[in-house]
Structure 1
């Protein structure tokens, strides 16, 4: 792979890691909102799951950023994106007492979040297939083979 492509792969990893590093940190420092969404979806142990999701997101985001265990991490993030998209963003939002106009706006945002999750899953599948590239810890460890 050319140095230009390896540089672009590094940029892609930085961009793909950004959302999970920030989101994971946010969940770990203030899990209440996420715990509310988890409880609203009918899942048990909402606060524990919020912390677990935060830890997973932060660690996985950092792994992608530095290119460590990239293929495995990318597959895990792809599955996480599809799961969370379907569980938390595929239905209609109905909040008691909210005006219809506001609910329409929130439901539009919810659809966008579902599409964002599915799109991210595609990016992570691509990363899982291609690997971390030359500028990564995987390359230093000899496990960053690229198929393209």
Structure 2
């Protein structure tokens, strides 16, 4: 990879998780409203802290390229599951949001397959430990 590709990988990781990170932070500040929404969709309340952890913590992890492949798999599963749980019905708006979730899942699957790039904590840690073992 050249230097431009490395920088584009950082930009892509940040763009991939921007929606999730801001959504997770919003859930922290509007916790009760989100519990109500979850109850209306028959989703148990104990999932909300896990969702916040995934959106905020997972978002930061992917943005910095830490445990990227692992976290991307969970983000992809979460995107599809959220689509099925919260965007049921046949309205145009629900279809658009469901497709947005499917598109996000596709991006996370590609990130899981291709990795975070050279400018990432994953790359740095992998090469540091390889140097120590040789």
Q: Does 1:27 align with 2:27?
A: yes
Aligned partner (choices 68, 76, 79) of residue 77 of structure 2: 79
Could you tell me how far apart the structure 1 residues matched to 2:59 and 2:94 are? 23
Partner of 1:53: 51
1:49 deviates by 2.2
| Structure number with higher helix proportion | 2
Could you tell me how far apart the structure 2 residues matched to 1:124 and 1:90 are? 22
For the aligned residues, what is the CA RMSD? 1.5
1:108 deviates by 2.5
Could you tell me how far apart the structure 1 residues matched to 2:27 and 2:111 are? 25
1:130 deviates by 0.6
Aligned partner (choices 96, 115, 121) of residue 112 of structure 1: 96
Task: Judge which range, 5-14 or 67-76, deviates more.
Answer: 5-14
Q: Does 1:123 align with 2:107?
A: yes
1:88 deviates by 0.9
TM-score of the superposition, structure 2-length normalised?
A: 0.87
Runs (4+) of structure 1 exceeding 4 A deviation are none
Q: Does 1:43 align with 2:27?
A: no
Partner of 1:3: 3
Gaps of 5+ in 2: 128-134
Task: Judge which range, 66-75 or 5-14, deviates more.
Answer: 5-14
